Amino acid sequence: MPPTRGYSQIAHVKGGELLYFSGQVALNAEGELVGADYATQLEQIFRNIELGLKAACASLENLIKLNFFVSSAVPMADVLASHFAIRDKYINLEKPPPSAFVFVSRLFRAEWLLEVESIAVKP
């Protein structure tokens, strides 16, 4: 497989419980949208994933897969300016999870700029 930067080609799970997260969007605990820009929404999404992992007695270190679905309405310059800086605060940089990054025409609600699915393994 070709070398990668910022993600792994494969995650090998030797044991534990798998945790599958629905696609997360930038909603807070009250169900309100947080942010109208890519960076703010991505930050909120990672906070939501972190809260879900804590509720399941797991942590961000347990992430084994991330799928990013980004609205084509988001300018590529906005993505490049903030995506890795934000993501890298939350993932294990020594063993980054396998990832997919897909542009879609839009998400369920037009104000949602991205949605992130994740999978974790609880030891």
Give me the domain span that covers residue 51.
Answer: 17-122
Domain contains 111 = yes
Domain contains 7 = no
Q: What's this model's pTM, rounded to 2 decimal places?
A: 0.91
Domain contains 1 = no
Each of the 123 residues of the chain gets a pLDDT tens digit; together they read 777 777 777 787 888 999 999 999 999 999 999 999 999 999 999 999 999 999 999 999 999 999 999 999 999 998 988 999 999 999 999 889 999 999 999 999 999 999 999 999 998
Number of domains in the chain: 1
Query: Is residue 6 within 8 Å of 14, Cβ to Cβ?
Result: no
Domain contains 88 = yes
Domain contains 3 = no
Domain contains 46 = yes
Domain contains 72 = yes
Residues 6+ apart with CB under 8 A from 37: 78, 113
Domain holding 34: CATH number? 3.30.1330.40
Domain contains 83 = yes
